[in-house]
Every structure is written in structure tokens, then in C-alpha cells.
Amino acid sequence: MLEVKNLVVNYGSIKGVDDISFHVDEGEIVTLIGANGAGKTSTLRALSGLNKVGTMTSIKFMGEELTKMTPHQIVAKGLNHVPEGRRIFYSMTVKENLLMGAWTDKDAATIKKNMERAYTLFPRLKERESQIGGTLSGGEQQMLAVARALMTGGKMLLLDEPSMGLAPIVVRGIFDIIQELQKEGMTILLVEQNANMALSIANRAYVLETGKISLEGPAAEIKANDQVRKAYLGA
């Protein structure tokens, strides 16, 4: 579904992502794990058209090359980004936030259907439909960020550190929902520092180290790898 070749992201003389290639098949959860500054966010931003990529980079989504598209065009193709830090609209209600996510659709019936789906997945958001976004708890804001991305009715989600700053029990809830989305047929690329959780729900994993992929394979294998256990799983 997503095929990335020779991804390079440079910030002046700093290499954010240093020539990586990876793929995500339809229906998979693939995780990119790595320490601070490894290049995880830079990778997701490049996929969404928010970072400039190298001249040799190819990013194919459902057979189409994304590297020349704008972020708006990329979302309209069905690739949705949930950025780090739950960037919701703080002064808007839950419902208004969801409606903002529906900008790719003009059809009221589709918007209604997508909203019902979001509320089925996140009943807590339904209860808080009229609450102002900025007053939601951290976990609820993360739910809202994911729900808003679902409003476009896209086919693949890019999740940037959904567990960041959340209590373990809330993280569990968010990861349950990610698995639920996979069951519904969503394809997911999950960037995480919480390697333990990410590897427990992913099908496959890539380990990023200073902009390069140092290891890749089935998530269970990566989780059992000695190096990974020492560096990322606190073993």
C-alpha cells in the first residue's frame, strides 16, 4: 500500500532521515521505533508532504507517487496524519473538531456516517460532543485527534507517538482502538518511543537510529532481539 524508497530529509547540513526504504502492506500495523531524534517524526512529515525530500526519494501510496503532491492532495488520497502532541482545535467543541476533519467531503450523508463511526469507536467523545477541545483530558484529546483523522474516510493512518504524555491505562485504551481500527481494515504506520506497546500490537517493525534503519522484521522477532531489549525495552 505504501512503498518508500531512498527517503532523505535534510535540515540544512543536519540529516534528519538518511536514505531509508520501507513498506507497509494493506491491513498491516507497522511500527517505526527509535530514540529521540532518530528521525521518526521527520519520516511521517515527509510522507504527508510537510517535509522536503531528497531528489532520489520515491513515496508511492496505492501506486501513486506522492513526492510532488501538496499535503492537501495527499490527505485527499486517503493518507491521514495524526501529528505528535494532539494538535486539535482548542477553542472548538468536540463536534466542531470532527467537522473540521471532514473537509475532504462535501457530502452530508458521508460526513454523518463518518461521524457516527468515530463516535462508535470513541463513545467518550460522543458524551463530550459539546465540550470545548482544550478542556478535554490528554487522553481524550488524543482520541479526538485520531477521530478527526478518521473523518476523512481515509485508508491509512500515520500516528505520531499517540502514547506521549499519557498514563499507562489511557495508553492501553488508545492502543486497543488502534487494533480495533486494524480489524476494520485500516492500514497503520505507528511511530512510537513506547517500543514495548508498539511492538506488542504491530505486525512488523523498523528500528531507526540516527536517520537510518538498523533493524527490521516481524514485531515479535524485533521484540525478542537482545539489542532492542537493552536499548528500547529497558531489559
Strands 58-61 and 212-218: unpaired
212: number of CA atoms within 13 Å, CB side? 1
Cell digits for 46? 515527509
Strands 58-61 and 29-34: unpaired
Binding residues for ligand ATP restricted to 9-38, rule: CB under 6 A: 11, 14, 16, 34, 36-38
Asked if 42 interacts with ligand ATP (CB under 6 A), we say yes
Cell digits for 163? 502514547
> Of the two residues 96 and 216, which places its CB atom closer to ligand ATP in the complex?
216
- From the CB of 37, what's the least distance to ligand ATP, in Å? 4
DSSP letter at 1? Answer: -
Total site size for ligand ATP, rule CB under 6 A: 12
> Of the two residues 38 and 143, which places its CB atom closer to ligand ATP in the complex?
38
Strand order in the sheet with 156-160: 79-82, 156-160, 187-192, 29-34, 204-209, 212-218
Asked if 103 interacts with ligand ATP (CB under 6 A), we say no
Q: Contact at 8 Å (CB) between 208 and 40?
A: yes
- From the CB of 11, what's the least distance to ligand ATP, in Å? 3
Asked if 56 interacts with ligand ATP (CB under 6 A), we say no
Binding residues for ligand ATP restricted to 152-211, rule: CB under 6 A: 193
24, 33, 41, 181: residue in contact with ligand ATP (rule CB under 6 A) = 41
> Of the two residues 47 and 111, which places its CB atom closer to ligand ATP in the complex?
47
Asked if 49 interacts with ligand ATP (CB under 6 A), we say no
Cβ neighbours, 10 Å, residue 167: 12
Binding part of the chain for ligand ATP, among 40-48, 65-73, 139-147, 167-175 by CB under 6 A, reads 40-48
Question: What is the three-class DSSP state of 188?
Answer: strand
- From the CB of 49, what's the least distance to ligand ATP, in Å? 15
Q: Contact at 8 Å (CB) between 235 and 229?
A: yes
Question: What is the three-class DSSP state of 78?
Answer: coil
Asked if 83 interacts with ligand ATP (CB under 6 A), we say no
Which residues of this chain interact with ligand ATP, rule CB under 6 A? 11, 14, 16, 34, 36-42, 193
